A and B are shown apart, each in its own frame.
Chain A
Amino acid sequence: MALDYKPAIHFNQVSYSIEGNPILQGITGSFPEGKITTLVGPSGAGKTTLLKLCNGLLSPDSGEIYIKDQPIDRFEPVELRRKVGIALQSAPMVSGTVYKNLALPMELKGGTLEKSPAESLLRDVGLGEKYLDRKITDLSGGQRQKVSIARTLVNKPDILLLDEITSSLDRTSLKEVEELITHINRKFGTTIVWITHNLQQALDIGDYTWVMMDGEVVETGESDLLRAPASDRVKSFVQGGAE
């Protein structure tokens, strides 16, 4: 990718494997600071693993990762994970209420989350404050994803990693979440890296796009690349496999 911007995250020949099976191979490239980069590609391409490497949940077997020009290992894991927030695809929840989940990041720091900002976060993600005392088990998959996004925002991360957070949302909710993420990006300059299977979404909200296949980055560039891919593999993916 021709860099017009400072990289928020930079990869240099990053590889990762599980029990000898390569998941990521020689990843090199950058996510520009303050921009929205979408990651697209078929299932099993290594997109989620790449995000977990950025958040420090995993470490590469080889290669280097830089967060704002600093080697990732320089950061304390706790500090890194608060700086680089991630909303996981499965939207895991702790048992209890929506409030308990929203308050979790503050509790982990030894603080508390007041009701008022919690309600505000819920409104931001398109859930009213009436959901605050609802039990997690009473929520739909889409509502859980919204709570998951709101919870990730509590730490006010500089970089926000989103793993298919809109996959369970209806069209209206999807638009609300897209608007929210775009708003956060524009207002606070938060760098967004967003895995999506929805190519239209990548075109609509992404400044840049990475196309990943079989653990490799096949094509990167401005999101318009999806309209006219250079490689045959990406062309075939765009025309056929993608939603």
Chain B
Amino acid sequence: MASPSSSMNPPTPALKTYFKSPEGRYKLQYEKTHPAGLLHYSHGKSVSQLIIAYLKEKSASQGPSAPSTPSSSSVVKSAAARLFVGVNGTKTFSYGGTNGGSKVASGTSKFAGTFGAGSSSSPVAANYDGKGTYLIFNAGDTLFISDLNSSDKDPIKAIHFSSSNPLCHSFDSEAKDGHDLLIGLQSGDIYTVSLRQQLQDLDGDGIFVVAHADGNLYVYEKSKDGAVDPSFPAIKDPTQFAVAHARSSRSNPTIRWHICQGSINSMSFSIDGTYLATVGRDGYLRVFDYYKERLFCGGKSYYGALLCCAWSPDGKYILIGGEDDLVQVWSMDARKIVACGEGHNSWVSGVAFDSYWSAPNSDGNSDGTEENAVYRFGSVGQDTRLLLWDLEMDEIVVPQRYNPHGGSPTLSSGSHSSAHWDSTPSIGTLQPPPSMRDVPKLSPLSAHRVHVEPLSGLIFTRESVVTICREGHIKIWARPGDGDVSEANSDAGFTTATAKDRHVTAPSVKVNGSSYKLTASNFIRN
């Protein structure tokens, strides 16, 4: 008979080494982890986070480019150690607007938020050749660097922190001074490190931003020393957004943004670096015009804190996920929530657009306007599952635009319950929680348990989906090959029809408990 332990609990199904999507099977290629026995004391305190670093090959024009800095291999340089000691701890940060006012073409500032790296479809991706792509993740008191394209399970390098646990990190491939990796510690200290130097070889301007658990975000200049004591005026009203520039020109950080009460849990720059999105403990998504230093738009979760956010590659949509178990889609044009994904059985801890995804037959339409674009995105949650979603935007947007009845439920802006469906909120305002009756619902294309532990993040790369759990174990799921498509199509167990029919993959909408495909007319009646 069954062993006592298995009889005591409902047997947990074993984890599979693949999962299915309309386009085929994603297979577990290999896993990455850290030495066992590392985490015993830090349980529940520091959550493993993951980023991807594409180390570009040095271009030939730059010559031998011997590192101009003495290769003292001095590992870390404390950027602002004294400033933040005693603050609740760094939460998240991001490289941003490196070339100040630069346009999309510059290809800079791609690295946004904790997981932004994967969703950026940068021109640099040409360098992605299977060499020089690294996974960087923290576990316990150590930061690990692992080669994405090697099937070796063990990290190639470990940076150990004796004073405090690393919590978050960010990578900037354009960093000319070589300090391309930021590491935030639980103590609130920040370190800038040269990943290139850490790994092999190695000029410098730029800024980076760091968000903290006390609701503040600081802008740093990389060229300045962090040793000068910054002086910022006291925060008058902790509930109000306020930007303060440092009194001394020598100060680094140079600017403080007070964003909200409570922690900023995640942030992300739009691909062109114009907008900065933050989500936090207070449940609000805030989108700032980064250069004007002004709130552009934003809104509240259904309830509870928001934990993650990510931009669509074209900068039109933002995914948010949090403690209401929902994945919501924010439209930058409509400045409100336009779709809401139900499917996770616990908090949503990571969201990302698949920027490498191209919708089948998307060029087959005669009216082929951009509004028909299908977006593929993924989400991971504390329910240990990875969910894949499709978002077909014409069907979400059209009902508002061609609303013949002139009004779905509309409440005054003072009301606590509803978004306006026939008007776009004015710039610079925050929206109340969406009313669940009014927002189109999405259902996931696929949902798969991929780890044993709750997940903390995901990244899409050209060849794979990379997932990480809170305890620092990573799995790399290879995208379906061409041969896998037919296999998926013939699989009777799979309920969603093939991706070839554009309309079938459309998000379905759920109204009053019954589920059916979303169409414009259905939605208007509601």
Asked if A and B bind, the verdict is no
B interface with A by C-beta (< 8 Å): none
